[in-house]
């Protein structure tokens, strides 16, 4: 018999800058969740979706980062497993970046992706 231990950090991780960013987003709503999912979009296939929600959906996987409740959509789990979310400064702007090991192709503008 083999025993597997579920490690939620293997699903999604946040860089320090992303963790600070999301912490500020939910500071006034500590009981809310940041929900990560995907949707069919763009020329390559899928786009990332980040929402602030009152509660996760029934089959979402919950990952906690200090004071941030993070929910990952079950239907997107295969595409998102192992993803690292970062917050990057580009000029005067801040942009959420997704470092996803499952991505096989991205569109030229970076708005959509596909997995193999």
**Hey, what domains does the chain have and what are their CATH numbers?**
8-115 (2.60.300.12)
- Averaged over 33-45, what is the pLDDT? 88
49, 39 in Cβ contact below 8 A?
yes
pTM for the predicted model, two decimal places: 0.84
3-state helix, strand, coil in the chain (%, to 5): 15, 45, 35
* Sequence-separated (6 or more) residues with CB below 8 Å from residue 108: none
DSSP H stretches of helix in the chain: 16-25, 77-80
Angle CA 62–68–74, to nearest 5: 25
- At 7 the pLDDT is 54
In the predicted model, what is the mean pLDDT of residues 88-99? 91
Question: Tens of pLDDT along 50-90?
Answer: 999 999 999 999 998 888 999 999 999 989 999 999 999 98
Residue 75 carries which DSSP code?
A: G
Does residue 2 carry a pLDDT above 80?
Answer: no
Is the pLDDT confidence value at 10 over 80? Answer: no
């Amino acid at each position: 018999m083999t025993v597997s231990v579920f490690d939620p950090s293997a699903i999604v991780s946040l860089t320090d800058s992303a963790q600070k960013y999301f912490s500020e987003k939910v500071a006034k709503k500590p009981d809310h969740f940041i929900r990560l999912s995907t949707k069919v979009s763009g020329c390559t296939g899928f786009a990332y979706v980040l929402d602030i929600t009152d509660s996760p959906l029934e089959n979402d996987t919950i990952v906690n980062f200090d004071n941030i409740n993070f929910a990952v959509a079950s239907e997107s789990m295969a595409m998102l497993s192992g993803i690292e979310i970062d917050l990057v400064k580009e000029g005067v702007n801040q942009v959420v970046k997704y470092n996803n090991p499952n991505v096989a192709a991205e569109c030229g503008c970076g708005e959509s992706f596909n997995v193999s």
